Amino acid sequence: MKIFVVDENNSLTPPEGWYFLPDSSLTNAGKPFFIPENTQVIEAHPVMAVKVSRLGKTISPRFSGRYFEEVAVGIHFTAPLLKTRLLEKGLSPDRAHSFDRSLILSPFLQKSAFTDAVPVRMLKNGEKIFEWVLDLSEQSLGSVFSAVSAENTLKMGDIIIPFLPGGPDVEIGDVIELNKMDDNLLRIEIR
């Protein structure tokens, strides 16, 4: 399984626009997030994840919808100060994104569960921080599938995270939740 993340600038030119996460980054819902000892600041970025459902290479944008059936939401934890230090030294910022357990996803649901334009809300300690409607359209995901599949064969079970908006800083004791209407999709305790 491969995990592809498209960065917040939406530039699809590798290596700046997207990167891999090792499979050790992924943690299932219900698990707490432990802040790594070697960093001072951790940000919690809300994400949407699509699971690739069939083999594909060089996928045309108009056919992107044929390559996924399931969608999840989650939190991708990053270390912004570490990223800045690495970039200042001319090093790859991968360590700031891809440490163990840095990605926690809700259970995957059929994409039809997110087509009703009901927003997903991110709460930090019960207070709304962010709200967005998942865009599963060909216009939104087509260029992502096309760019990633131009250089990589997508296989069943691969995960694509098509955007990475900014998120709040978190500290020990915080609780992050992702809700859709009254449904709690994900709850993460920060330890």
CATH number corresponding to 3-189:
3.90.850.10
Q: H-type helices in 57-121, by residue range?
A: 80-88, 94-97
Weakest mean pLDDT among 80-89, 109-118, 121-130: 109-118
Q: What is the mean pLDDT of residues 62-88?
A: 93
11 pLDDT above the threshold of 60: no
- Parallel, antiparallel, or unpaired for β 109-110 and 120-124? unpaired
Question: What pLDDT is stored for residue 92 in this prediction?
Answer: 84
pLDDT 10s digits, 30-73: 899 999 988 889 999 999 999 999 999 999 999 999 999 999 99
pLDDT 10s digits, 150-162: 989 999 999 999 8
* Omega prior to 32 cis, within 30 of 0: no
For residue 15, name the pLDDT band (cuts at 50, 70, 90). Answer: very low
* Per-residue DSSP letter, 81: H
For residue 17, name the pLDDT band (cuts at 50, 70, 90). Answer: low
| Domain parsing of the chain, residue ranges | 3-189
pLDDT 10s digits, 163-180: 777 889 999 999 999 999
Weakest mean pLDDT among 47-51, 60-64, 137-141, 182-186: 137-141
Element containing residue 46 per DSSP (H, E):
strand 42-52
Question: What pLDDT is stored for residue 16 in this prediction?
Answer: 54
Which residues fall within 8 angstroms of residue 127, CB to CB, at 6 or more apart?
none
